[in-house]
């Protein structure tokens, strides 16, 4: 991964986290990792545990950020969420899977799209 691409991803995660905190969400974990992968953000929206995949792009020439969260990626995030819940011993919980799409269109302010319960 190139440094510019990595920096875009980190900046996108920071913007997404600030956005969700501004909505009253509570951060449970950031960049939670296990051997099988990583979940960008784990948040609480009231009593609902939300697993958030953040996708950030510097433009839309390769498509919208959320288009990168296809079936394989969704299945992986679901599997990672199960691992997280087993480790946290929190099985009886309402869950949701969100995608935060952050686009940096040149010199303009970032565009943020919060897609709730998309998979």
Q: What are phi and psi of 8, to 5 degrees?
A: -65, -45
Tens-place pLDDT, residues 50-84: 999 999 999 888 899 999 999 999 999 999 999 99
| Cα–Cα distance measured from residue 44 to residue 51, given in angstroms and rounded to the nearest whole number | 9
| Residue 89 confidence (pLDDT) | 77
At which residue do the structure tokens 């969100």 appear?
A: 98
The CATH number that applies at residue 7 is 3.40.1350.10
pTM for the whole structure: 0.92
Distances (CA, A) of 56 to 30, 47, 79, 92: 16, 27, 22, 32
Q: Domain count of the chain? A: 1
Tens-place pLDDT, residues 26-56: 999 999 999 999 999 999 999 999 999 999 9
* Range(s) of the domain holding residue 56: 3-115
| Residue 93 confidence (pLDDT) | 80
For the chain, the farthest-separated pair of C-alpha atoms sits apart, in whole angstroms, at: 45
| Residue 4 confidence (pLDDT) | 67
Q: What is the mean pLDDT of the chain?
A: 93
Long-range Cβ contacts of 112-118 (<8 Å, 24+ apart): 112/15, 112/16, 112/19, 113/65, 113/66, 114/19, 114/20, 115/66, 118/66, 118/69
């Amino acid at each position: 991964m190139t440094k510019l691409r990595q920096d875009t991803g980190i900046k996108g995660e920071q913007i997404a986290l600030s956005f969700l905190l501004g909505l009253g969400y509570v951060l449970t974990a950031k960049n939670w990792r296990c051997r099988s992968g990583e979940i960008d953000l784990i948040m609480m929206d009231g009593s609902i545990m939300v697993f958030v995949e953040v996708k950030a792009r510097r433009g839309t020439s390769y498509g919208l950020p959320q288009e990168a969260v296809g079936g394989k990626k969704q299945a992986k995030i679901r599997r990672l969420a199960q691992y997280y819940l087993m480790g946290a011993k929190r099985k009886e919980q309402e869950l949701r899977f969100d995608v935060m799409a952050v686009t940096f269109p040149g010199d303009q302010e970032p565009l943020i799209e919060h897609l709730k319960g998309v998979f």
